[in-house]
Amino acid sequence: MNYEVLKDFKKVSGVPQEIITEYEKKIPQDMIDLYKEYGFGSFFHDYFKVTALYNF
């Protein structure tokens, strides 16, 4: 996964395996791949945040 928009991704932490396991059958594979490769953080000048789904 090498998207231009993610070039400024700022990683806050990795995604625990428990979260990946819980959601891997519930959300698109692209989101799982994003979790695995980038973890939690923000990108696009902090406009978008990648966070745990259970926070919402």
Give the closest residue to 15 by CA, choosing from 47, 56, 54.
Answer: 54
- List pLDDT tens digits, range 2-54: 778 899 999 999 999 999 999 999 999 999 999 999 999 999 989 999 998 77
Amino acid in the structure at residue 47: Y
Beta bridge partners of 41: 11, 50
In contact, 52 and 28? CB cutoff 8 Å? no
The structure's pTM equals: 0.83
pLDDT confidence of residue 55:
65
Lookup result for tokens 């791949």: 33
